[in-house]
Amino acid sequence: QEFISGAVIDLLSSRKGMMLEMNSCDTQGQCIVKYKIPTRGLIGLRNQILTATRGTGILNTIFLEYGPWAGEIKSRENGSLIAYDTGSVTAYSLFSAQERGQMFVKPGDQVYEGMVVGLYQRQGDLKVNVAKKKAMTNVRSNKDATMVLNEPKTMSLDDAVEYLNGDELVEVTPLSIRILKNPKMDPKLMRRQ
């Protein structure tokens, strides 16, 4: 549709795409836009196109050629929520951590120090202790019964690769897909090893 094509054009241009052809929209409001875009600009593009077009966009890709480096492609602006300690995620600690951003873990999940457990709502990274247990002296209140946790975002392999910044890695196992901070790029973690 015509009013959506502007958002798609902005999105493709921000990923170093170069418009080759744009046909006028047909009677149903569908437009065909052809772009030449680097392959690394396609990572994570499908989800953003679907969001920008409200689920009506169709993305078709084909390899054209090897080309010169098109320049730096801007990654996400938000930081990551990083696990401060190793252990099992508790609802008690997750309740306070979810106020800081979108979580990727749920109670009972195993986390380790340096693992990315969520998307921070601000720039920069923030370490959170999602494995903190509730103190036994604090059992008087019935707050656990009223605790409402947001649904965590489930990351597919495509989502995880799209999410990465330069200092992060994806860990793929038969049971899970996790994102972690690269310990070789964190001087504090290197000193401990």
Q: Stretch 2-28: mean pLDDT, rounded?
A: 82
The phi, psi pair for 16, rounded to 5°, reads 65, 30
Q: Stretch 30-42: mean pLDDT, rounded?
A: 86
Tokens of 134: 């509730």
Q: Is 98 helix (H, G, I), strand (E, B) or coil?
A: helix
What's the mean per-residue pLDDT of the chain? 83
Tokens of 152: 């965590």
List, for residues 38-77, the tens digit of each pLDDT value: 988 888 788 888 888 888 888 888 888 898 888 888 777 7
> In terms of Cα–Cα distance, which of 93, 109, 111, 98 is closest to 151?
98
List, for residues 151-162, the tens digit of each pLDDT value: 888 888 888 888
Other Cβ atoms less than 10 A from the Cβ of 128: the count is 22
Q: Stretch 102-107: mean pLDDT, rounded?
A: 91
pLDDT-based confidence at residue 144 (cuts at 50, 70, 90): low
List, for residues 7-17, the tens digit of each pLDDT value: 888 888 888 88
> In terms of Cα–Cα distance, which of 79, 144, 147 is closest to 117?
79
